[in-house]
Structure 1
């Protein structure tokens, strides 16, 4: 509410990507998943090649995400299902939250067999604390002085990584 619409220009596509986009949009339209829209909001699309050689359509919501403040979302527990709790919480970011397992225990306990799923005050408090900790950026090391920085990058067919470091450290 009260935010100007975000509309990024589409990424440029080569002819085969335009054909792929047309085919995927037609399929989504035919299945009733999408409909024509003239919204002032828009996000660019890109394609990621899958192992089988086909393409996955991905939408770049980064500009929209900058406007989204998850700390103000209403009660989100309905979005959690018993079978999704552990994989969602035990993911990549747990390594950045000190005492993650201890904080998440009231929630992860709900994933155990023969435990009735009852969301109470303890689970809500744990959820709010994790949400707050996930929304605050971890600082692994503060820069020292005015030394030069070096960016080390590596990439493969499966992924990429980068780290910004002080020279010789």
Structure 2
């Protein structure tokens, strides 16, 4: 499953300006200069002008035992929908997210209309998922993550750019991800949303990546990496170490979603500070907006 939403991409010559903006809130001049140096040292991690695949030892696998391949014909699309689908496929091909396929597997594509009138591109992997062996790899709970982050003075949040699309799929399993349109058959080179075990593979990759500092000064959950420290000196060291790991593995982050060296951060619908944890205003408002019951039953 993928979305047609396009995120603003800074061109390579704009990365410096993006990095400057990430540090403009830091009031201490020396601390700001230090973080500028750190971010510039790992500037390639903030450059999303070109889609990249991470260099990791763990690839997503799709164990299907002796299940027979399943295939379907492409669902009917209106001329407008076909144009939308064609453009999305061309973009995915350009970014090396997918490639042409000769697979015996073929999942259908659904275009789900959004409130703004645009379409969400979805590959329906339900038939494939039904014959895929489930992974039991653990994911951290919200409670575990929030309790570990609370009480630390300095926080940094890094948001991986289209995180799934940076995780490779095992070469022998790529054909199982094939999807069909009126124009042809294609398969994913990288992790696709909607695949069984996809979140668990992503968590396994991230845990392996940050193994040294995990739970000590960094945690990862899906696209988000949170770095936490008790002093600004420690935080500079911790941010440097995490960015070094990401750049070495060729991961990229969404600079417009990153927050560097702050004392308050929103994560998993909560506000985290040195004083503790509290629900985010949006979460509180959502509760307040629930209509009052009109009957007692």
**TM-score of the superposition, structure 1-length normalised?**
0.46
Determine which structure has greater relative contact order: mean sequence separation of CA pairs < 8 Å that are 6+ residues apart, divided by chain length: 2
**TM-score of the superposition, structure 2-length normalised?**
0.27
